[in-house]
A and B are shown apart, each in its own frame.
Chain A
Amino acid sequence: MPAKDAEALPTPESIAAYVKKNAPAAKMAPMRGPIETVREDDYQGHHIVVRTSYRMEVDGKPVTGHVDVSNDGQVAYHGLPNMSFDSAVDLVKRLIDHFPEDFRGRGSSGGMRGMGGMRGMAGMRGMAGMKKSTPKKSASKSAAKRKSK
């Protein structure tokens, strides 16, 4: 049995044994049905709870990843975990750009993964307070720009 100390030097055998032990406990279930987010805050002695239900689809296919909304309204998504978005619509647009293979055969997107085609996409949280940031395009402006092309 491998050592129980996380600082113990690993071996190929210890790695295999721990994966065998730990993998069954990993729960990787996608969300089922509407995704409910809960925002809570306290204000002047009152406790505020805001529950929002999301049911996101692209061409009828459900988007089932974990969604969270911060108290300032920014939408975060575990599939793109280092970003937050001005709206869930902007989030889904970004998913279509980054995972074109998941949406292939529908619409006209594809092939931009990880490259310059991702530039200027609408709605990702801007760099408030950063000196070198460039002005962020609004969702509506970017969408309008794409339509006009």
Chain B
Amino acid sequence: MAVTRPNALKNAAALKQYCNGVNLLKNEFTGPTTQSLRIPGPSQKVSTYDLFVCWHVIAMMTMTPANQMQRNAAHSGPVFLPWHRFMLRQLELNLQRVLSDANFGLPYWDWAADGQLPQDQQRQSALWGADGLGGSGSPVKTGPFVFKAADATSFRVRIDTDSNGMLRQTNRGLNRAVGEEQDVPTLPTKADTAAAVATTPYDASPWNQNSKSFRNRVEGWSPYGMHNQVHVWVGGDMLPASSPNDPVFFLNHCNVDRVWEAWMQKHGRVYVPDQTAPASLKGHRIKDSLSSLISAPTTPSAVLDLTSQYVYDSVAV
């Protein structure tokens, strides 16, 4: 039976359950180490949650194909939406496992609803309260992800990236600067999401940040906004390639996935490029394997319709 993904802004219990699950995954160590992931420094155990951080960075640094730098295995190309859907689903399955709740559905952050508020009220959303995800700080000082140096079980960032985008070890609290970025002072609005859902085709040549397409619009390259805008608006650890370090990463992407679901309900479950596309698009064709780390691989084709696994409480984006 499909689980229902709830609106985090309207379901405080679901948001709290999500935060509890994140902290459980942060403290689960199944065997992988920094050494096995070739992260420099002494060998340390890597938590299940931190494997998602590593997976995102690895996909980011995997050029598809390898002889160009315009598309990687998860971004700036057609697989942006399928790959993140795959990642979200793996997190959801693992949260169900550690929460012992097969009905748990990943909550989404309807950031466009907050984007409808006046600028000075956007950062006052309940999402950033002590009962939500906590607020800003370096490190964050309120909520379920507060860093306590002497408490090894408290939330902490153990793996991030350096200025060259390479994985490295660290041991610190979570950084956030909600709404403090002067160049990106506001969240996307409902007009932005409506314009995205109205955009066709799904993707188009040149299949990168220059494409005039739904994928490129919702990813936030043309015009700049949407998913990218949310990352920058939250700031702190949402800026580098290790952005899954901030649990809001998954709430952002769950909403991006919801926008994609709304688009597919309007335009059909279509995806391009198909498998006849040239090798220059390898990694982005409909039956190419998506970059995987903690599970069996999948393909864009296999994730186009997951309504037997999860549905959203609303696709009014």
Contacts and interface: CB of A to CB of B under 8 A. Distances in A.
Interface of A: 2-16, 18-20, 22-23, 26-28, 30, 35, 37-38, 40-41, 63-68, 70-72, 74, 76-84, 95, 98-99, 102-103, 113-116, 118-121, 124-134, 136
Contact of A118 (B180, B223, B224, B227): B180
Do most interface residues of chain B lie in helix, strand or loop, or is the interface mixed? loop
Interface of B: 28, 30-32, 36-38, 48, 51, 57-58, 60-63, 66, 68-70, 72, 75-76, 86, 89-90, 93-94, 96-97, 119, 138, 161-167, 175-177, 180-186, 189, 191-192, 206, 208-210, 220-221, 223-225, 227-229, 231-232, 235-241, 243, 292-298, 302, 309
B236 A114 contact: yes
Nearest to A58: B163
A131 B119 CA distance: 11
23 contacts: A6-B86, A7-B93, A10-B93, A10-B97, A15-B30, A16-B30, A16-B31, A16-B32, A19-B32, A22-B294, A28-B57, A37-B69, A74-B209, A78-B61, A79-B241, A81-B60, A82-B243, A95-B163, A113-B138, A114-B235, A118-B177, A130-B192, A132-B189
Given A13-B30, A64-B164, A129-B225, 12 more contacts: A10-B90, A12-B28, A18-B293, A30-B166, A81-B243, A98-B163, A114-B175, A115-B177, A118-B235, A121-B183, A126-B224, A131-B189
B296 A65 contact: no
B3 to A, nearest CB: 12
Contacts of A98: 163, 239-240
B89 A27 contact: no
A65 B165 contact: yes
Most chain A CB within 10 A, of B86, B94, B182, is at B182
A19 B31 contact: yes
Contact of A30 (B75, B164, B191, B237): B164
B294 A82 contact: no
Nearest to B32: A19
A69 to B, nearest CB: 9
Contacts of B119: 132
Contact of A6 (B161, B236, B298): B298
A68 to B, nearest CB: 5
A83 B302 contact: no
Contacts of A71: 210
Contacts of B180: 115-116, 118-119
B300 to A, nearest CB: 12
